[in-house]
Structure 1
Amino acid sequence: MAFQPILRLSRREVFAHEALVRGQGGQDAGEVFRHVNVDTRYQFDQACRVKAIELASRLGVPGYVSINFMPNAVYRPELCIRTTLAAARTYDFPVEKIIFEFTEGEMVEDHGHLREIVQHYHQRGFLTAFDDFGAGYSGLKLLADVATDLVKLDMALVRGLPADPRRQKILRHVVSLCADLGAELIAEGVETRDELRFLQDEGIDLFQGHLLAKPAFEALPEIHWPD
């Protein structure tokens, strides 16, 4: 795993660290996922959860740890969560400090099943996040069907935002929509100060991106707080 922080800039605090899948030699997620298929995705999903919790505990991650899960790998949430709960007990990591993210980039086969998973996680005390919003499959329908605590704005909508009036209009509607739905928005993939300032001016407070900190392999990265 590599870790990348999500920062709440108004308080100048670390809100969470996202656990990002890496190979044993530091290979990126794309290379790792090439070796995952329908037959192995459940074991892979479970192994990632355990590894993320173990490392977060060992490194003393401040705030939450955010773990990506594969909705299509979760057949029964009440059974699949047992490994996560056992890992939290084993490594003495508080379950109330775990966020589960699902990505719009994965073709979710059953929105009703995903809604049940998210509801079960909420009942267990976990926070949930809709990752990569605006990048993949049926984003607005997923947003309508599944209520999460957080929505992560995909970097494709962030890139070049200050000079792109169409993106600016879309962003303002997304900010308003998430506020109405009671979900806090996270801007990910922030790489320039102009992007950061624009997003802050639109009321976003949670940020993730290389401008602030690059992912660190099995370590907590150095944070570059903006002036």
Structure 2
Amino acid sequence: MDNKCVHCGISFQIHHSGYLFVWSHEKLSSPFEKEDNECWRYEYDTIHNLENILSKLEVQFGEKCREIKCGLTRKSKKPYTTYTLKNLKARVANKELVEVIQNGELISHIQPIIDLQQANQIYGYESLLRTNQEKPVPPGMLFKAAEETGMLSLLDQRAREAAIKARKKFIKEGVKSFINFLPSTIYNPDFCLRHTFYLVDLYEINPNDLVFEVVETEKIEDIDHLKSVLSTYKREGMKVALDDVGSGFSTLETLKLLNPDYVKIDRSYVDHCDQNSEKQRFLLNVLQISRDLGIKVLAEGIERKEELEFCQSIGVDLAQGYFIGKPSNPAINGGELVGVRSLT
């Protein structure tokens, strides 16, 4: 197991009073007490005091706060689990969002995907993460907090779980489910994806109906690692997709190397594609490459009838976007999925 996995799944709790331990060869000023040659201890009686001392430590250590180890305990014994100073400070500062990431109810809103070459029939649905609480947290805010606190792996795993549960409850067999995932959170595919594969078996879902979609494809730097992740999904009988293809992405060589089942064209190339010759050339190029490799092409971000008709006319396989149907929560519609709007 990768050492980066050490915190995944471990519950994080901030006690209202307790002890902060910091491992440092540098001397820490009062109110810290020296525990041993390299460890210092601070007793706090409110979370506000803890936040203040963490802020002072961040100023003292500067960039070193990414390396300095520290931990919290209720009693004066050293903690079993440690974090970087930067990470711990972020967790304390974002304690409400940390609680949502760990224990909040996560659900999936579902957006339709149509087959452009089959009379615009429903082909599948993309699952999009949402929080189910009185004051919903925007997904972008939740993922930003997860990144800052080192909890992306946990949030990504819980998001996949919510999508699989929604699939079981609302989507019939034979219709695809597109489920997002962040490859950067999967350090060891065989180990990190074990929980996901367990859920697929538990809910008796046909693996062939699942399409796991790489989020932010253009930011991928370790192609070999991504290839390993996609191969692990495929080995289990599932399909894989690359998202946002075209946004700084090496289309030809990378598609050949990764060999996904689907590519989703970045919405910036779909927006007003019916009026832009440069975007049209790009779409035709991706289509040709994808046909040669046996990959289905999906145009996302369709917001106008003219965009849909152009993509259909050049042979794009699939499409999604607000013009086709917005994401919705089937749980509040009596379990009914929102159908595709009239496209005529």
Same fold by TM-score, threshold 0.5 exceeded?
yes
Which of 88, 91, 112 is the matching residue for 1:5? 112
* Counterpart AA for 1:60: I
**Secondary structure class of the residue paired with 2:287:** helix
Where do 4+ consecutive residues of structure 1 move more than 4 Å? 136-141
Instruction: Report what 2:122 is aligned to.
Output: 14
Q: CA deviation at 1:7?
A: 0.8
Contact preservation (8 Å) 1:188, 1:209 = yes
- 1:223 correspondence with 2:340: yes
User: 1:182: Cα distance to partner?
Assistant: 1.6
Query: Which of 206, 228, 231 is the aligned partner of 1:119?
Result: 231
Deviation at 1:137, TM superposition (A): 5.1
Tell me whether 1:36 sits opposite 2:146 in the alignment.
yes
Determine the structure 1 residue equivalent to 2:70. none
Local SS of the residue matching 1:21: strand
Question: Contact between 2:113 and 2:124, CA under 8 Å: does it hold in 1?
Answer: yes
- Name the amino acid aligned to 2:277: P
Distance 1:26 1:209, change over 3 A: farther
User: Structure 1's 26 and 59: CA in aligned 2 closer, same or farther, altered over 3 A?
Assistant: farther
Counterpart of 1:103 in structure 2 is: 215
Task: Show the 5 A alignment for 1:131-150.
Answer: 131-136=243-248, 138-139=250-251, 142-150=254-262
The structural deviation recorded for 1:135 is: 2.3
- After TM superposition, give the deviation of residue 201 of structure 1 in Å: 0.8
Alignment of 1:186-205 (within 5 A): 186-205=298-317
Q: Look up the SS of the partner of 2:243 in the other structure.
A: strand
8 Å CA contact 1:26, 1:217 repeated in 2: no
User: Deviations 1:61-94 (Å, cap 9, x if unpaired)?
Assistant: 5601111111111111112221112212332322
Match of 1:70 in 2: 182
- Alignment match, 2:159: 48
Q: CA offsets per residue over residues 150-178 of structure 1, 9 Å max, x none?
A: 00011110001111111111111111111
Q: Which amino acid aligns with 2:153?
A: Y
Structure of higher CA gyration radius: 2
Deviation at residue 111 of structure 1 after TM alignment: 0.8
Equivalent residue letter for 1:29: P
CA contact (8 A) 1:21 1:28 kept: no
Q: CA contact under 8 A between 2:251 and 2:286: conserved in structure 1?
A: no
Please give the secondary structure, in 2, of the residue aligned with 1:37.
Answer: helix
Q: Partner of 1:60 in structure 2? A: 171
Moved more, 31-40 or 2-11: 31-40
How far 1:27 moved relative to its partner? 4.2
Decide whether the 8 Å contact of 2:113 with 2:123 is kept in 1: yes
How do 1:83-102 and structure 2 match up within 5 A? Answer: 83-102=195-214
Tell whether the 8 Å contact from 1:104 to 1:135 is kept in structure 2 after alignment: no
> Kindly, what percent of the aligned residue pairs are identical?
31
Is the 1:17–1:61 contact (alpha carbons within 8 Å) kept by the matching residues of 2? no
Rounded to whole Å, the distance in 1 between the matches of 2:282 and 2:218 is 22
How far, CA to CA, are the matches of 1:222 and 1:27 in structure 2?
26
SS at match of 1:215: coil
Larger relative contact order (CA 8 Å, sep ≥ 6): 1
The answer for the alignment partner of 1:208 in structure 2 is 320
Q: Which amino acid aligns with 1:162?
A: D
Deviation at residue 30 of structure 1 after TM alignment:
1.4
Report the TM-score, using the length of structure 1 for normalisation: 0.91
Task: Structure 1 unaligned segments of length 5 or more: list them.
Answer: none
Residue 23 of structure 1 pairs with residue 134 of structure 2? no
What's the secondary structure of 2:110's corresponding residue? strand
Q: Is the 8 A contact 1:104 1:136 kept in 2?
A: no
Amino acid at match of 2:246: G
